[in-house]
Amino acid sequence: MRISVHMSASGLAAYPGGRRIRVEIVFLTGVAFGLNHALDSGRYDDVSVYEVKRQVWDGTVFDFFERRLGRDVDVSLLHNDDRAELVREWQGYADAIDEEGKYGAVRNRLCLLIAYLLEGIQQRKE
């Protein structure tokens, strides 16, 4: 499922009906813990830079989570609007940030997704 969103002037994602959301930090950390578990399992050492970035750019990264990472990463608490917000954020990071230089994510791209989650947490203000 491809997800697309439109940005509002405030930097929050705008959805049909003008609803605006921010994914809660508790959900972001939960996904990061799941990715950390998947990374530690060693079952995803073959995940490539291209594979992850392609999924982010195509807006299909959550399909990738469900198809490729299965039960190791639970994204069930993220609703479609939460996922759309994260896809938008991650697409911006993929286009603008040197992930090797800033995040140190070189060998395993699950590390890149963890870095994207941490970047999103860092940019959120309570």
* Interval 68-107: pLDDT, tens: 888 888 888 888 999 999 999 999 988 887 776 776 666 6
Give the pairing type, strands 20-21 and 13-14. antiparallel
CA distance 79 to 76: 7
Q: What CATH number matches the domain at 23-123, 2.40.37.10, 3.90.79.10, 2.60.40.420, 1.20.120.600?
A: 1.20.120.600
Q: Hey, which residues does 20 pair with through a beta bridge?
A: 14
Taking only Cα atoms into account, the Rg of the chain, rounded to an integer number of angstroms, comes to 14
Residue type, 87: V
To the nearest 5 percent, what fractions of the chain are helix, strand and coil?
A: 60, 5, 35
Can you give the pLDDT at residue 56? 93
For 56-70, write each residue's pLDDT tens digit.
999 999 998 889 888
CA distance 6 to 124: 19
